[in-house]
């Protein structure tokens, strides 16, 4: 059993932005929306999944559909890693 886990979600050790961009655009596609350009998504990657949901769908954290959308996004991201 490991004593610690290291998460690198801001690109310091591994650039995860392309995978998160694909997950974000998968969320948009799931909702029948066109893909966003990579540079647009890249600006929000370090702000986390909730920021990507807000960018992708315009749903703030208080919106009733936000949590499900975030779960979808993170599941798509999990498939990539």
| Residue-wise pLDDT tens digits, 56-81 | 999 999 999 999 999 999 999 999 76
| pTM beyond cutoff 0.95 | no
Confidence of residue 8 (pLDDT cuts 50, 70, 90): low
List, for residues 28-44, the tens digit of each pLDDT value: 999 999 999 999 999 99
DSSP label of 56: H
Q: What is the largest CA-CA distance in the chain?
A: 43
Q: Residue 43 has what pLDDT?
A: 93
Tokens, residue 72: 């979808």
Name the residues annotated as catalytic: 8, 10
Going by C-alpha positions, the residue among 29, 24, 66, 60 that lies closest to residue 45 is 24
């Amino acid at each position: 059993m490991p004593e610690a886990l290291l998460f690198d979600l801001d690109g310091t050790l591994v650039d995860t932005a392309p995978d998160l961009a694909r997950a974000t655009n998968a969320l948009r596609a799931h909702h029948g929306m066109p893909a966003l350009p990579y540079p647009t998504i890249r600006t929000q990657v370090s702000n986390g999944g909730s920021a990507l949901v807000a960018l992708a769908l315009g749903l703030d954290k208080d919106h009733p559909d936000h949590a499900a959308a975030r779960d979808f996004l993170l599941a798509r991201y999990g498939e990539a890693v």
